[in-house]
Structures are given as C-alpha cells and as structure tokens.
Chain A
Amino acid sequence: MSHTQQSELGARIAEQTGMNVLECYQCGKCTAGCPMAKYMDLTPSQVMRLCQMSDEGAKEQVLRSGAIWTCAGCLTCTQRCPKQLDPAAAMDVLRELSNREKMTSPQRRKILAFHKAFLTTVRKTGRMSEFPLVRRYKISSRDFFSDVLLAPLMVAKGKLGFKAHKIKGRSQIKTIFQTCADLARK
C-alpha cells in the first residue's frame, strides 16, 4: 500500500476541506480528547487511519461505522491536532457520503433520522420549529414514546412552538435545497 497516494476517501476529504489525511501520524490525540469516543465503534484516530488506506474494505468500514455519526462536532480534535488537521471536518465529508451511498449504520439511524427531520422542516418553512421537527422525527425514527411527558412541561414554559413559522422567502429556500441536491448528484 502506497503512502503517497490518496485513497478515494482521502481525495474527497482533500477536495472538500483542503486537508491531507496522509499527514496524520496516528498520535491519538483526537481520540484522547474526544468526548464521544466511548460511544464509538471506531475511534477518531482509527477513522483517520482508514481514510489513509486505499482498499475498498477500509472505505466500507468507515462509511458503515457508527462512529462518524456519533461525532458531536465539538471540535476538540481539530483544536488539538498537532498536524493542524481537521478531523471534525473529515467527519462531515464521511457522513455526507455514508448517507448518499445509503451505508449509514443501523445502530445510528435515529441520528440520521433527526438530521433529516430537521432539514425537512427547514426546507418546508425556512426555519426550525420544535413541534414540527419532533413530530417528523418521531414518525421517521419510530421512537414514539420517549420524552412524551416533557411536551406538556415545554408547552407550559412557552418552549414548544406548535405552529411552524413560515418565512416569506420559502420559494428561495426550496430552490437552495434543490440546487444543492442537484449538485450532490453530480
């Protein structure tokens, strides 16, 4: 295996973020500081290592991992990387690809369902409102019963907007979503 040539994942990460994953020398600092590492099936440094490797198996392992979805985007890894790499940005690239190639770990399907419910709400109204978001999420994740007791409390405190606020520029927002979706298919 050559260490001078980018893997498919490495090339995509370089294209989208300008980062060269081959510079990672596996010190493990990203993993050491990662608050989510204990909930991951691969550590952040293992994800970086697999992105360096050119075989198809490595790509599959990364894109099917729960780890990439378990990253909270807290930026601790990026802040501390001694090579000034940006593992958090690499995770974004990997999640996007994992979703597009329908390889998302079933173990983390609720996280993907939440992101999708969020974006659907924004695409339809221009903004996020809690009630439409939660309703959509619960239907798509089939997670009907968690937190149902919180809802009345949230209403009492004026923290659960029932009605979606619809912005005037909804057609612009729809066009933005559509154009981005078209670009992603290219």
Chain B
Amino acid sequence: MNSIGYYPGCSLSGGGIELDLSIRGLAQLAEVELREIDDWNCCGATAAHNLDHNLAIALPYRILALAEKQGLGEVLAPCAACFSRLKGTNVRLERSGDLKAKMQTIVDLPYSGSVKILSITEFLNRLMELGLADKLPKKLTGLKVAPYYGCLLSRGEDIVSDDAESPSAMEAALRATGAEVVDWNFATECCGGGFSMSLTDAVLDLSNAILADAKAAGADCIVTGCPMCHSNLDMRQLKIQSSGMGQYDMPVLYLSEVLGLAAGMGCDQLGLNRHFIPAMALAHRFDPPPQAAETAEAVSDQRSN
C-alpha cells in the first residue's frame, strides 16, 4: 500500500472539516495510507508572518522536523495556506544555511530539508494516477464548475508549480468526472483571506465579485482547495445575500468533494451536508437519496430520451 505523510492543519478539524473528510475518503478509495504527523502544531498562518518573521519560519520548521523524524518523505498539506507556509519554509531553508542553523537553535530539533510538501491539487492528481481515475463511476454530466485557485494555489514563486496567471491544476481531474469547466475571470482573484472577522466588509466585497463572475459564467458551483476561500465564499455568502449585495445560492465545493461525488461516495461521508449554502440539491443530481432515486432516474431517462 502506498503511503504519504499528512498535515491536516487546524482548519480541517473545524471550519474546513469537509476537506478532511473527503480527502480521507478518497485516499482510502485509492488505497493510499495517510500517515498523520505526530503532535503537529499550527503553521502560524497569516498571523505569524505578519508579526514575527522568526516565528513564521520556526512554527513550520517544527512540523517539517517532526515529519522527517517520523520518516515521512512526502507530506500532504491540503489547506492552501498551510501548504504555502510549509513549502515556503522549505524553500527559504534551502537558500540559507544561516537560517537553518538559527531555526535549529530556536526549535531545538534537527531538520535536513528532506520532506517534500504536496498541495491538494498535486495530491489529488497523484491519486488519479494511482488508480482513482478508474474509480469514478458517476459521471457528473451537465455539472458546470468554476475552478477557483485563489491566491495560494496560484502564486508564490518556487512554491506553486502552476501558471500564476492562468493555473490549470484542477482541470484534468474535474474533466475526468465528466463535469464541464467554465471559462471565467476570477479564478485567481483574492477572496479577502484571513480578514473574515477583522475587515469583513472587504471580504464581502471581494467574495461578492467572485460569486458574481462565477454566476455570469454559468457555473453551478465554485470548486476550491482552500478552507479560507471556502469559508469566505460559502459562509460569508449568507451575509452577501442577506445584505442585498447579490443573490447566488452558489454552492462552493472542495475539489475532493467533487471527486468524491464522482467516486460514488455519500454526501454525509463527504461532508456536503455541512455547507452553509446548501450543496445537497446539487449533489443529489448525481447521488440521489434512496427515496428520490427512482424519480431522479425517471427524470434522467426522460432527458436522455
């Protein structure tokens, strides 16, 4: 059985729980064991690099050192922010021996730099190669998706391997599910990131513009890989709608949830029941609840006739 290190990060046991549930489900399906880093800590996120440049490296350094000690050659960091902090730390340590020595003193753990960090898209594309692509029995035909990369899955030199202005890392996997990828303009625009509570109006503005463009492009849902983007586009959509900025009812799904749907995993298993903007109706187009299954089949028969 293949195995890979796993750094869930803090969001994945709270606001981003669907991401954790759907990733674990897909890994199991692709027969890849996720080996969680023992006693991992927070990567420091936005707060650490805003207030203390040493802390911003030291916190990820401890995580990387623990992973190395545990013998993990590759570690998945599904949250885009954790990914950016962890891989960014690797890049900086590699560039500067002085920084590495300083961190070893601060954290009091050795780290040679051997741990490779994978983003959610790199990981899911790997699963597809490892056989997941053959385990997607449900075709999400007719589902129009707007892949949303936001900031940290598109930008960061030496961190993100995709094209910064026109990323495409989600597209092959989305097309493999039978979904249609819409052409839209806001795939790499910022949602306001960590300002959800501290500068809420800006988050509402920026997220509103993203939702409006997805709607204008005819998308049925936005697909993301970042818990922060998810929270701003999904949870904050309630406020965007109640304050009259726009009316979208636009479900926001993690890429892993979309793949899970195509793999035939249940809505509850994927966490689709936990969204603020209901995603169940959309999911039920492809995964009808037992009592509705016959009706849905009848409808789809009619459509195909």
State the A residues within 8 Å of B (CB).
16, 35-36, 39, 70, 72-76, 78-79, 92-93, 95-96, 99, 108, 110-111, 113-116, 118-119, 122, 126-130, 134, 137, 141, 143, 146-147, 150, 153-154, 157-161, 165, 167-169, 172-173, 175-177, 179-181, 183-184
Contact = CB atoms under 8 A, between A and B. Distances in A.
20 contacts: A35-B206, A73-B194, A74-B193, A75-B152, A78-B155, A79-B157, A92-B53, A111-B195, A118-B46, A126-B42, A128-B45, A130-B14, A130-B15, A141-B198, A143-B197, A154-B15, A177-B55, A179-B54, A180-B106, A183-B106
B53 A16 contact: yes
A78 B55 CA distance: 22
Which of B10, B106, B202, B275 is packed against the most chain A CB atoms within 10 Å?
B10
B151 A127 contact: no
Nearest to A156: B274
B108 A128 contact: no
Which of B44, B52, B275 is packed against the most chain A CB atoms within 10 Å?
B52
Interface in B185-209: 189-190, 192-195, 197-200, 202, 206
Given A72-B192, A110-B197, A179-B105, 20 more contacts: A72-B151, A72-B195, A74-B155, A75-B151, A78-B157, A92-B49, A96-B51, A111-B198, A114-B198, A115-B50, A126-B41, A126-B42, A129-B14, A130-B14, A137-B198, A141-B198, A167-B39, A168-B39, A175-B108, A177-B55
Nearest to A147: B197
Q: Which 3 A-B pairs have the closest CB atoms?
A: A118-B47, A74-B190, A75-B155
Interface residues of B, number: 55
B108 A172 contact: yes
A58 B53 CA distance: 23
A92 B268 CA distance: 40
B10 A92 contact: no
